[in-house]
Chain A
Amino acid sequence: MPSRRLLLLGLSLGCARTPRVSPDLEASPACVVSEPAIPADTVSVLLSQPVDPAHAPVPTNDAEALVFRQLYETLVRVDCEGRVRPGLAVAWRKEGLQWTFTLRPNAASWDGSPLDATTVLEEWRTTNPATAVAGMRSEGNQLTVFLSAPRPLTDFAAPALRLTRRGPESSWPLGTGPWEPHPEASGSRLVATAAVRNVERVLSFDSRPGADPRDLLDAAAHVVVTRDRGALAYAAGLPGWTDLPLAWDRVYLLVSPTTGSRDATARAAIRAELARDALRGEGRPADWECAGASNGGPSPGQSVGRRRVIYPREDVVARALAERLVARAESDLTALLGFPAVLAGTTVTAVGLEPESFTRAVAAREDLAAVMPVLRSDAADCGPLAAPGAGWGLVEPLVETRAHALVRTGAARVVSDRDGLVIEPAGSRR
């Protein structure tokens, strides 16, 4: 995991956005999804995917993204309009390639241990030895980060930079967020509590993997996150529910050991067609190129192992994309892969694999191509996939998707950030 977080930190510090220097303490009204007059003491969130504490703080699915977002903090937050807001840090300033953050007074972990800049620095050095960071320094509650190149402030809101500490007992890493997992939380049910003015607020997560999201809406849920088109249509017909589109956070890549096509026009047309018709859910053509791709692979006509386009079995979007590429193997897939000789006289199939099998098959690079989802922030520059020597001749972004948060109006104050939904404990509004 440290190596993964190292990678993510490096990636997250690579985006090019204009930084804000002064903090906005109040969320934009446009980002407030729900503002009840009398919030409920207990907020119930139903999830249709599993949640694994071992993945914290970097999520691997929508359910983990929602849960981890409530439990762990970054130095700063970025709201739905892109404005930077306080997180663990309440103030910050930029001096050249140097960012200095002032931490929240009396910041502490869930176990009560105080948290100062030195603690953050040590944790980051332990778990996030970022290569994009030239150095760090702590002084009191001030943490200074020296960058090797200009980076926007919003990069410090990346999930990989959420502050976590390993606790001695709980399976959950210790965090600093307002919601603290119940010590005995395990299995499919997680109860997090927050004490606000000596009143305990409860945030209940109930994971029901594979459940129909419409069933979750029918249950006594306050928040449901889904990408299912049918569930969104169903929620639209239900009174009291707000549909909040979240950020376009997932990109589906077509990777292949073959050399990709240079025909940008054809590739753009294929992306558009895939986003419009191939997906059963919401999608849009990927809006960026994967620089550095087409840097290897076999020469035209060279044999490339099994004639399969593999995808993660449980991912319906990846399946739809893979099947469409197979259905149009003679045209679309050939156009993307760059040379028809690879497919001449062969039958290409789409094969869904279990997650472990899919990971092994991708690493083996024995299949014609693979459709794989990556987080949007992770794939900002295609990451290591397109790096020389990675073995991929083609890394082609196809489409992007996003989830929707369905919030029952009047249950809790819910704010939309760029990286997800924030459920605030009742009465905690600063």
Chain B
Amino acid sequence: MSFRLRLILGFLAVMAVPLAVLAVGVRREVTGRLTDQYQRRIGALATDVGARLARESDAIARRLASIRTALADDTRFRLAAVQRVPEQRAYLLDYADGAMRAAGLDYFQIQDTEGRILSSGQFRAEYDRFDPAVPDGLARLGGAPAVVRARAPDGAFLVLARVDSLRVGDATFLLVGGIAAPRLLSGLTSESDLVVALVLPDTAVATDPAVAAALDSVRRAAGDPAAGLATSRLVERGPDVATVDPAGAVATGQLLIAYPTAPLGALLRGVDRWFLIAGLATTAVAVTLAVVLSAAASRPLQSLAKVAETVDLERADLTFASSRSDEVGVLARLLGSMMDRLRSDAARLREAERRAAVGDLARQVNHDVKNGLAPVRNVFRHLDEVRDQPEQLAGVFRERRGTIESGITYLERLAGQYARLAPTVGWQVCDVSALVREVAAGAGPSVRVEATALAPLQTDPLALRRIVENLVRNAVESLGEGFRGEVHVSTEGTPSGVRIRVKDTGRGMVREELDRAFEPFYTTKPTGSGLGLSIVRRLVADLGGTLKVTSEPGRGTEAIVDLPAGKTT
């Protein structure tokens, strides 16, 4: 698991989990409190509905009493209803309509004691029909109101009705009046969201038709109406209401007050929505912070790793400089210190190598010189044997002169060879690119130069020439007979100095050859001295630079010389 992923998960855990806990807690608290508030409010409304129902009932009674008073003084009514004067019959038939409208009732009819309808407000044409059941049922309730089913031309409707009576002469008339159930129910509350429903044994009405249909369905299934509504609404039971069916039977209806839970649900959905938004925002912030912080933390580490990736004994000049004061700075400084030790160890290693090489060389020189001096010593020993025989001395000298000359020549040649190993550093201002172009120009047509203009470099031009000459000659010679292929020589500036790159497309070297390429006198060429790369490495080290050789059999070899700019003028 990456550091970044760990950081993201960590941030999420730290930020999202507390938020989720907070959301659940707040939601539960809000739900509980709001439900309690709604329930208390509906309870209060139910009480209010009961009071309003009582007031409506009283109002019906007062209106019937007013009509009764007016009828008692109405001569035309007396003529029509008591004396049955035909000319006043129309007045009687139309009377209930006008009285009902004037009294603000939805249902009003005048009946005689036998139940015959003398005048009907809601259904004028109903006159002379016998309907004793409703007034009888209402009378059995002792004047209390009851819900009855009133007839109308276009169908029946429910009313909350009361009955009053009027005595004119010897005749008694019943006044039955009321308010239509829908108007009554809608008048029982001023809350638009509140649904008032009336559930009777044979039907259900409500201020909301959907609620009425649901209640009717529950009623048909013989279920509990309040429970039937509880799934979608908060329900409170109101006062019981008596009802009289068309046959005059008295039963009890149920008044329900229901409040939709939809607003509460909407409120909770709103809370959920905002918590979800907060969660998403928190997640986004956590991820962003984790990415930014992980990037801030890993970028310097990656830089250090990138530098460390290139560290080897040939690149001991690399640094891990950092001005940071945090752990990364500490690590950089530790790595820098490690590089200092590595450089020191590399120098000691090179010195040990150099000393070993010098020792080898001294032994080789000793061996070679001894080998070269041995014939000479033999000649001189021969000459010494005949020093007292002048006649033979000249002959021996002539005979052995060739041996002496051969030894001397060998030694001279040997001296010449070893002379090339002698380090002589003379620091001068040098144009590296010009030097490279000059060397390459005399190396043959297969050499191609790409030397850019560089700042003058303080170095040893002679050593640098020897470096370049050796590398170019090795590269040209690697091309073999006919010089097929090419040698590419280039210079370029680097942050630390100058880089010289010599690359050929020659035969290349296998790993073993490459490992031994820097050993003195190791050569794969018949005429090679075996000292080329050894001298080059020493010269480069003398100039404070590094040499890196890579090779691939059949594809060529590349030598890279990096010279420091420490002495740049």
Contacts and interface: CB of A to CB of B under 8 A. Distances in A.
B153 interface: yes
Contact of A349 (B124, B127, B155): B155
A289 interface: no
B94 interface: yes
B93 A327 contact: no
Contacts of A326: 125, 153
Given A324-B125, A326-B125, A327-B125, A347 B94 contact: no
B93 A347 contact: no
Nearest to B120: A327
B116 to A, nearest CB: 13
B155 A328 contact: no
Contacts of A278: 125
A246 interface: no
Interface in B408-438: none
Interface in A280-337: 280, 319-320, 322-328
Interface in B168-227: none
Q: B-side binding surface: helix, strand, loop or mixed?
A: mixed
A350 B93 contact: no
B93 A322 contact: no
A277 B127 contact: yes
Nearest to A331: B129
Given A323-B124, A327-B126, A277 B93 contact: yes
Interface in A337-372: 347, 349-351
B153 A350 contact: yes
B90 A349 contact: no
The contact size tier of chain B is 10 to 19
A274 to B, nearest CB: 10
Interface string B111-133: 00000000000011111110000
A320 B154 contact: no
Contacts of A327: 123, 125-127, 129, 151, 153
A280 B90 CA distance: 8
A350 B156 CA distance: 11
B333 interface: no
B121 to A, nearest CB: 13
Contacts of B465: none
Contacts of A322: 153
A347 B156 CA distance: 9
B125 A320 contact: yes
A396 B93 CA distance: 25
B89 interface: yes
A351 B155 CA distance: 9
B153 A323 contact: yes
Contact of A323 (B89, B90, B94, B125): B125
Nearest to A278: B125
B154 to A, nearest CB: 5
A171 B13 CA distance: 86
Given A323-B125, A327-B123, A328-B129, A277 B153 contact: no
B153 A349 contact: yes
B156 A280 contact: no
A351 B152 CA distance: 11
Interface in B152-169: 153-156
B130 to A, nearest CB: 11
Contacts of B93: 277
A177 B212 CA distance: 63
A328 to B, nearest CB: 7
A15 B369 CA distance: 170
Nearest to B151: A327
Nearest to A273: B128
Interface string B72-110: 000000000000000001100110000000000000000
A427 B123 CA distance: 52
Nearest to A276: B89
Contacts of A320: 124-125
Contacts of B156: 347
A312 B96 CA distance: 25
A324 B153 CA distance: 8
A231 to B, nearest CB: 15
A350 B89 contact: no
A389 B402 CA distance: 162
Nearest to A311: B153
A280 B98 CA distance: 13
Interface of B: 89-90, 93-94, 123-129, 151, 153-156
Closest CB pairs A-B (n = 5) = A324-B125, A323-B125, A350-B153, A327-B125, A323-B153
Given A276-B89, A323-B125, A323-B153, 10 more contacts: A278-B125, A280-B90, A323-B123, A324-B125, A325-B125, A327-B125, A327-B127, A327-B151, A328-B125, A349-B155
